[in-house]
A and B are shown apart, each in its own frame.
Chain A
Amino acid sequence: MSEKRGILVVGERKDGALAKVTLESLTQARALAAGLGGPVSVALAAEKTAPLLAQAARYGAERAYVAESPELAVFRPGPFADAALAAVRAADPAVVLFANTADQREVASRVATHLGVGLLGDATGIELREGRLVVSHPCFGGSLITEKEAVAVPALVTVRANIFARQEAPTEPQVVSLSVDFTPSGLLARVLEVVEENAGMVSLEEAQIIVSGGRGLGGPEHFRLIHELAEVLGAAVGASRAAVDAGWKPHQYQVGQTGKTVSPKLYIACGISGAIQHRAGMQTAHYVVAINKDPEAPIFSFADFGVVGDLHTIVPALTEEIRRRRAAA
């Protein structure tokens, strides 16, 4: 048996704070640590980590491995992987949890390569079975689920957002400052500018509710209906590939196999047929509601609640209905 103990959660940032998926991972790490033993630690990398540290403390991090540097202001795979690697070496954990975001997938994979260990990607389940860590992961467009374990320690896992609950458990973490030796090749990439042209876009991966529009909208101007419904629900807006490829929405909005993979509590599909490649990105949604005028549309074969009808009347009526009920409550 290895001496490695405890669980390290590598913090993901989102708008200057910790991403929800990191808080979910910290909560899940506490549950796993109860069975595995050892502390729950967090790794934080940023130019200034204080706000992140305060948040990690609220969610039960007992130790914090902190790397601060101007090199860690804007994401670059190399320097952020170096920081995560330094934290893993210092914490010497049995398990490391990363977020399954575009950024941390790369960080995790580089850390795995440097340590010569395996990486269990995009976990939708992590459990202890007779002391062994078993990770499930949907693949082949979600038509199969693999259950895997790591052969080497530490076991590296990237965790899908919105799978685990998050719960506060305030602690006063012991803070360890790291000095990171940045790999020269990683520093060759220089950040020129950060451009925010979709400012205000709610992250699809983190959203609890998503309202998505497809080709059935009939034109880009009708996405207004989707945005209005999303606003009353506090939801994120998504789109099918057909809507994106028609130029009605930027690529960042696409849900599906060649877009985002999402796991919201509620997914409302408006004018989306429900092709297998769309389904691949949203079938782990807890509830699916569909509005489509074609009673034979495949989306109805897996929607929990479907209405056959014209979205141009139903969507605005639904927005109004929810507003009315909210006002009455």
Chain B
Amino acid sequence: MNIVVCVKQVVDTAAEKRLDPASFRLDRSGENVLNPYDEYAVEEAVRLKEKHGGEVTVLCLGPDTAAEAVRKALAMGADRAVLVTDPALAGSDTQGTAYALARALEQLEFDLVLLGLMSTDAQTGQVPAALSALLDLPLLSVLNRVEVEGALLRVHRQTDQGYVAYECPLPAVLSVAKGINEPRYPALKGIMGAKKKPLEVKDAAALGLDPSRMGAGGAKTRVLAVRVPEPRKPGVKVEDDGDGARKIADFLVQEKLL
């Protein structure tokens, strides 16, 4: 069974954000990491491969520095990678990203596409559904359990109350939730081995992308401004001298919360 897992490189949430006030572009030179949700997707893909055989291909769209996130996925056990990178793709919105990923997928052989639930930088969670629509494949998402039996998938979608179990034939597009597994830390052997695994770089021309559907020019949404939110200020802090609970209750009453 061949699996493609889509991964994104994101700015670490804990890193300090610097913004160019003129272009609204984020200075991405800070600490970049593999999108935390994508670690679960990579782990699940590698586990499925270990059980059912086949190959795991990592697919990533981003600047050439995103190769770092790709290498991490390879170190976790993926077999090979495709990095789609082109200055013309900079500024793509989620629909443009999904379009480029769909085109890249058309050049790969797969039975299953795995994605993370959401990227922690843009926080949109739109790419998996857009990708499934473009590929005209069923989408099953927010999964905390994935099982394959022959050409059939059995999955659980996490809900507030519990889960919904679905059955679906391959191929399909899946997005996974935190909690589906415990992602492994790449061992030194994996990290060394990752450097030797094939990483193919493709540009927009190699994918035959339509310029009107990608990059900032093809984006269907436009950024007007980026601002830093009004910082939350510390309020009152009191020591508990046995009256902490009463003081909280007084505060709740004062703010009409009780």
Contacts and interface: CB of A to CB of B under 8 A. Distances in A.
A and B part of one assembly? yes
Given A118-B95, A307-B248, A276 B122 contact: no
Interface in B188-240: 219-229, 231-240
Given A118-B221, A144-B227, A146-B225, A307 B126 contact: no
Nearest to B161: A196
Given A138-B123, A185-B138, A257 B36 contact: yes
Given A139-B123, A144-B226, A77 B141 contact: yes
A216 interface: no
Nearest to A186: B138
Interface in A1-18: none
Interface in A82-140: 102, 105-110, 112-114, 116-122, 134, 137-140
A252 B160 contact: yes
Contact of A277 (B14, B128, B136, B235): B14
B26 interface: yes
Interface residues of B, number: 87
B231 to A, nearest CB: 8
Most B CB within 10 A of own CB, among A109, A201, A291: A109
A265 B257 contact: yes
Interface in B145-195: 154, 157-169, 172, 177-179
Contact of B237 (A107, A113, A209, A300): A300
Contacts of A119: 94-95, 124, 126, 220-221
Contacts of A109: 94, 125-130, 133
Name B's interface SS: mixed
B251 A251 contact: no
B245 A145 contact: no
A155 to B, nearest CB: 9
Given A139-B123, A150-B220, A74 B235 contact: no
Interface of B: 11, 13-14, 17, 19, 24, 26, 36-37, 93-95, 98, 117, 120-130, 132-134, 136-142, 144, 154, 157-169, 172, 177-179, 219-229, 231-240, 244-249, 251-253, 255, 257-258
